[in-house]
Chains A and B, each alone.
Chain A
Amino acid sequence: MSPMERIHSTQYYTFFQSDKERCFYIDLGQKVVRLSFCQLLALRQRIWSINIENHFDEDINPHGLEILALCNREHLFVLNTLEVLDLKELLTGAFFLLDIAAQTPSLSPRV
């Protein structure tokens, strides 16, 4: 792994960028995952499509877990409700700091 710049951290996760490889890394605790830009967009779409309310519904999602297959199913993760929310927060912040999101309530832009 070449030198990376830390872009953003949340309670559980950290988001990095590698200028040299022109890609991104997410430290998910159990594993560090390398993502191209389109894989990053796909991850965002996957996370955004999660209906978190189902985590509180005994019938639909009794264990409140989400199975996440990343990068064409190269990696498989099981996230609980708090981890899903934290990953969402990580991506929200990272996209804003990467200058491709217009809004985030809690962060100010990099200069």
Chain B
Amino acid sequence: MKDIARQQMSIKVESMDMLNAQIQMEGKASASYLAMASWCDQRGYNQSASFMYQQAAEEREHMMKIFKFVNDCGGSALSPEIGNINHDFTSLEEVFETALSQEIEVTKSINRIVAGAKKNSDFGVENFLQWFITEQLEEEKTMRDILDLFEIMGRDGIALKLIDERIKAE
């Protein structure tokens, strides 16, 4: 018997399913950052808004990277349905707190896929995700550094303006 299926696809279906779930998660993160960008834009936090627009674009890139990988490996990438995006925040600090928890959830999810790929000896997938592991550590740090500013500078009107000015979209 020829390995017809194996010749068509180089990753395991379990990995494909997990990567499709990750595509959905990155897509949702992108949409969520866009909602945060809108909140910041409407309140005159211009630097924060630019930062969030950029995050939204980056999350979409992450999504596309995984999407392409799944198809390149012969799998079938699914275009995600995205709903239920939160647009309500009570403060600029809450926006960044939400961003940090969202990033932590993504980190956990990537870690779970890596662990699964390892368990299934799907080393190509494990290797592909190394970039995401490093990226997640950086993303968490970025958000933590911004949240530190609120501790240092306070939360009154002037402080918020100064914090916003310090936030840089790279």
Contacts and interface: CB of A to CB of B under 8 A. Distances in A.
B12 A98 contact: no
B152 interface: no
Contact of B14 (A23, A24, A45, A102): A102
Contacts, number: 56
B13 A95 contact: yes
Contact of A103 (B75, B76, B120): B120
A16 to B, nearest CB: 11
Interface residues of B, number: 21
B97 interface: no
Interface string B15-36: 0010000000000000000000
B13 A37 contact: no
Nearest to B1: A5
Contact of A17 (B1, B11, B17): B1
A101 interface: yes
B43 interface: no
A103 B2 contact: no
Given A38-B76, A102-B120, A103-B120, A19 B4 contact: yes
A22 interface: yes
A101 B14 contact: yes
Interface of A: 5, 7, 17, 19, 22-24, 37-38, 40-42, 44-45, 48, 95, 98-103, 110
Given A17-B4, A23-B4, A101-B12, 7 more contacts: A17-B2, A37-B8, A41-B9, A44-B13, A48-B17, A100-B5, A100-B12
Interface of B: 1-6, 8-9, 11-14, 17, 74-76, 78, 119-122
